[in-house]
Structure 1
Amino acid sequence: PTSQQILGQLETHNIFLIPLDNERRWYRYHHLFADLLQQRLHQQQSDKVAELHSRASAWYEDNGLEIEAFHHAAAANDFERTERLIEGAGVPLHYRGAAVPVLHWLESLSTTVLDARPSLWVIYASALFFVGQHTAVEQKLQAAEAALRDAEEDDSTQDLVGRIASIRATLAVIQHDLETIIAQSRLALEYLRPDNLLFRAAAAYTLGVAYHLQGDRVAAGQSFTEVLSITESLEDSIYTMAAATNLGQLQAADNQLSLASKTYERVLQLAGDPPQLIACEAFLGLARIYYQWNDLDTAQQYGQQCAQLMQQQESIDTFASYGVFLARLGLSQGDVSGASAALHEAAAYIQQHNFMFRMPDVAAAQVITLLRQGNLAAAASLAEKQELPLSQARVYLAQGDTSEALILLAPLRQEMEAKGWQDERLQIMILQALALQAHGDLDQAVQLLGEALALAAPGGFIRIFVDEGLPMAQLLSETAVRGIMPDYCGQLLAVFAAEGQKIEKETYLPPAQSLTDPLTERELEILHLIDAGLKNKEIAEQLVISLNTVLYHIKNIYSKLGVNKRTQAIARAKELNVI
Structure 2
Amino acid sequence: MDGSDISELHQYASFWYENHGFEIDAFHHAVAARDIDRSSRLLKGGGMPLHLRGAAGMTLDWLESLSAKELDTRPELWVFYGSALLIAGKPTGVERKLRAAEAALEGVEQDAGVMDLIGWIAATRATLASLLLTDNRDAIEPNLYEAEAALQVSETEDKTEELVGLITPAWNAGKSEPDRIDEVIVQSRLALAYLRPDHLPARTAAAWMLGVACQRRGDYAEACEAYNEVIANCRIIDHQLMAVMAIIGIAQIREAEGRHDLAAERYRKALRLAEGMPHPAIQEARMGLERVSRILEPGMKGSRIELLTQREIEVLQLIARGLSNREIADKLFLALDTVKGHNRRIFEKLHVQRRTEAIARARDLHLI
Select the residue among 92, 98, 108 that pairs with 1:141: 98
Task: State the shift of 1:118 in Å.
Answer: 0.7
Contact 1:159 1:193 in 2 (8 A): yes
In structure 2, the gaps of 5 or more residues are: 134-179, 305-346, 353-368
Task: State the shift of 1:124 in Å.
Answer: 0.6
Contact 1:292 1:463 in 2 (8 A): no
TM-score for both structures, normalised by structure 1: 0.41
Contact 1:115 1:144 in 2 (8 A): yes
Select the residue among 110, 117, 126 that pairs with 2:67: 110
Aligned-residue Cα RMSD (Å) equals 2.9
Select the residue among 256, 259, 266 that pairs with 1:259: 266
Identity %: 40
Contact 1:122 1:141 in 2 (8 A): yes
Look up the equivalent residue of 1:263 and give its one-letter code: A
Task: State the shift of 1:292 in Å.
Answer: 6.6
How many aligned residue pairs are there?
A: 260
CA distance in 2 between counterparts of 1:462 and 1:145 reads: 59
CA distance in 2 between counterparts of 1:165 and 1:461 reads: 47
CA distance in 2 between counterparts of 1:261 and 1:84 reads: 43
Shift of the 461–100 alpha-carbon distance from structure 1 to 2, 3 Å rule, reads farther
CA distance in 2 between counterparts of 1:126 and 1:204 reads: 16
Look up the equivalent residue of 2:281 and give its one-letter code: E
Task: Say whether residues 1:232 and 2:235 are aligned partners.
Answer: yes
* Partner residue in 1 for 2:246: 243
CA distance in 1 between counterparts of 2:111 and 2:93 reads: 28
Structure number with bigger Rg:
1
CA distance in 1 between counterparts of 2:77 and 2:275 reads: 33
Secondary structure of 2:26's counterpart equals helix
* Partner residue in 1 for 2:156: none
Deviations along 1:33-75, one digit per CA (max 9) or x if unpaired, are: xxxxxxxxxxx24222222212212222233323222211111
Shift of the 61–248 alpha-carbon distance from structure 1 to 2, 3 Å rule, reads farther
Deviations along 1:120-154, one digit per CA (max 9) or x if unpaired, are: 11011011111221111111100100111143332
CA distance in 1 between counterparts of 2:132 and 2:89 reads: 14
Deviations along 1:171-201, one digit per CA (max 9) or x if unpaired, are: 1111231111111112112222222222222
Secondary structure of 2:47's counterpart equals coil
* Partner residue in 1 for 2:280: 280
Deviations along 1:218-249, one digit per CA (max 9) or x if unpaired, are: 32112100122233321336643443342344
In structure 1, the gaps of 5 or more residues are: 1-43, 295-455, 468-493, 500-579
Secondary structure of 2:108's counterpart equals coil
CA distance in 2 between counterparts of 1:99 and 1:184 reads: 23
TM-score for both structures, normalised by structure 2: 0.63
Select the residue among 183, 186, 195 that pairs with 2:198: 195
Bigger proportion of residues as helix = 1
CA distance in 1 between counterparts of 2:230 and 2:104 reads: 30
Secondary structure of 1:465's counterpart equals coil
CA distance in 1 between counterparts of 2:68 and 2:183 reads: 29
Select the residue among 295, 302, 317 that pairs with 1:465: 302
* Partner residue in 1 for 2:16: 59
Q: For residues 249-328 of structure 1, what are the structure 2 equivalents within 5 Å? A: 249-251=252-254, 253=256, 254-255=259-260, 256-268=263-275, 271=277, 275=278, 279-290=279-290
CA distance in 2 between counterparts of 1:115 and 1:280 reads: 40
Task: Say whether residues 1:79 and 2:36 are aligned partners.
Answer: yes
Contact 1:245 1:267 in 2 (8 A): no
Structure scoring higher RCO (CA < 8 A, sep ≥ 6) equals 2
* Partner residue in 1 for 2:213: 210
Look up the equivalent residue of 1:79 and give its one-letter code: I
* Partner residue in 1 for 2:111: 154
Contact 2:240 2:273 in 1 (8 A): no
